[in-house]
Chain A
């Protein structure tokens, strides 16, 4: 079995990988650019083509991959720890589907074309709304199962409303736009997108800064955690709000990118000795690594149309999910 690694060493290693992939993400694309020359030209303030590609195309795309991936990894780890369920994903409490619904409403009513802010804003509002609904539906002192069921119900409702909007869409063009957006992509990322996503993402991260120890205590169940000083309703509220803000912001910019939040915590758990608190930072870096890598991959794949990054993460993630099921089946026997 893979063993536990010292936290500083693990985080250092993940940082190096994430950093290298970030640089690679600046380098690779439909055209490989000499990064250092481009950097020089950028700082020399000449509006050269290379500098433009770097600052207007590659940099926002890499930054968004870094932040969105980290958000998905972090929130996935937090959700799995809070619900003590290895199959929980950041989207379980409605944030991702709510964000998708909000964004689709913005696309549908064409307001996205009017202002570039309306799509992400719609997404964040949708995410907050859906999460709030789950919270209200389950109640303040809900047990884990009720929370999961409430999440499933709100997710289904959001997806049904998205289908309704698709069904009633005025033109095939609108349908195509919505469907392509839902696949999840970092294509057409701009620095504006990044700035829009940043505040919600950072706020979510900050809210999750100090939950590690409480999540560790939750390993022993809710009653024991409470007796160890954990204020459970407050912890839940904090994580809900954090996930709604961070995942909502990320999804509204990137579209639905699945499986990162589900898979990354699993991959890293053995290295942190299965401790939920230690997993948070590692999982954030792991999420960033996975999304950066997937986004580089889609740019390098020789395809007529660029494959959407959400499709790649799902193609990698779904088989891994199957593997988890088979492994747990063997474990239970």
Chain B
């Protein structure tokens, strides 16, 4: 991974934005989905670390907006717009949504990775943001870092090392 410049690190259920020459990353995605929204001309990118598909699942009154696909993507778009980035200019890259453990009689909660992928895609469709690249599903953890000037997403896994999408 590119360690030479400052890296904006995004935690679980969090979101943030960064400008080139910084990069933006999140570590250890399993069933969670890491979504990058970026404007390649303005060299700005945002990342949200989505943990659950929909805020209707929330049983508490307050929660981190980035936790759910619907609230997380909306908040990220709002944050980018506040920085002067029009949502019509945004493109998306995404990774994650794995199933880390194969539970035979798994409940729906156990297939959360697939549900996260679908929920993120549904939101992107709603905001008409095209998905340029994705590395989703499977049974592996991923750490991702977005190189803003090149619009490239580094995806690192334990067994396969770093691939770029």
Q: A and B bound? A: no
